[in-house]
Homo-oligomer: A and B are copies of this chain.
């Protein structure tokens, strides 16, 4: 009864056999998690209710609670599933560690931001889920290639993981409003109109910056931020 990392008591590792299906797929934790991701992508975070996930599986909400402790537990499992293939898709060696670290974080951001609001699940908490720790493992390995001392590596991992999650949350918030409205230019236009309507007396600095505040795409800004972090980490010893 291999229900992934959920069964804390691994006293029954033997799969034995599964019940014959009466024209109906048997419920598993993994299936519920994947269905949750599907509902989230299709209907959004507010519409992700236990009842809807159950309905999608052609069952009642109560049935989910055998495999999932509660809604939060489901969300955490969904987040872990969402970032499952970030590390396997890591780039090849022979490229400098900075580039590989950038690619890793970009992959994490993309994987999380693909699902609206999922990055905010267990935000400031230390990553404890399996796939999150695999990302952390990879981060540490890459940072150590830069010959940083252990303390700096530790603090840098904290910082980079926080940045990854924060950017993902930011992007998925934008994706949310973009899915209901126009593609992206329409959204930028909204922000532009908002800035232009600001009073130059109350907010002189913002108004003075003007067009610069909107310059660059989201990807450009994110990758610049990552460069800032890496340059800063290299040039800022801990203590």
Work out how many copies of this chain go into the complex. Answer: 2
Q: Is A179 an interface residue (CB 8 A)?
A: no
Chain B residues whose CB sits within 8 angstroms of the CB of A231 once the complex forms: 231-232, 235-236
Evaluate whether A162 and B170 lie within 8 angstroms (CB atoms) in the complex, with A227-B236, A230-B232, A232-B228 already known: yes
Q: How far is the CB of A230 from chain B (nearest CB, A)?
A: 7
Provide the bound-state CA to CA distance between A151 and B216, in Å.
9
A166-213: which residues lie under 8 A (CB-CB) from chain B?
A: 166-167, 169-174, 191, 194, 198, 203-206, 209, 212-213
Q: How far is the CB of A235 from chain B (nearest CB, A)?
A: 5
Stretch in contact with the other chain, from A27-35, A82-90, A153-161:
A153-161
Q: Is the CB of A206 within 8 A of B167?
A: no
Provide the bound-state CA to CA distance between A238 and B120, in Å.
28
Chain B residues whose CB sits within 8 angstroms of the CB of A137 once the complex forms: 203-206
Q: Is the CB of A155 within 8 A of B206?
A: no
| Cβ-closest chain B residue relative to A143 | B205
Evaluate whether A125 and B173 lie within 8 angstroms (CB atoms) in the complex, with A153-B212, A154-B212 already known: yes
Q: Is A48 an interface residue (CB 8 A)?
A: no
Q: Is the CB of A209 within 8 A of B153?
A: yes
**18 sample A-B contacts, Cβ–Cβ < 8 Å, listed by A number:** A124-B171, A124-B172, A124-B173, A126-B191, A136-B206, A140-B206, A150-B212, A156-B228, A159-B221, A159-B225, A162-B166, A162-B167, A224-B236, A227-B232, A228-B232, A228-B233, A228-B236, A229-B232
5 nearest A-B residue pairs (beta carbon): A232-B232, A124-B170, A228-B232, A124-B173, A150-B212
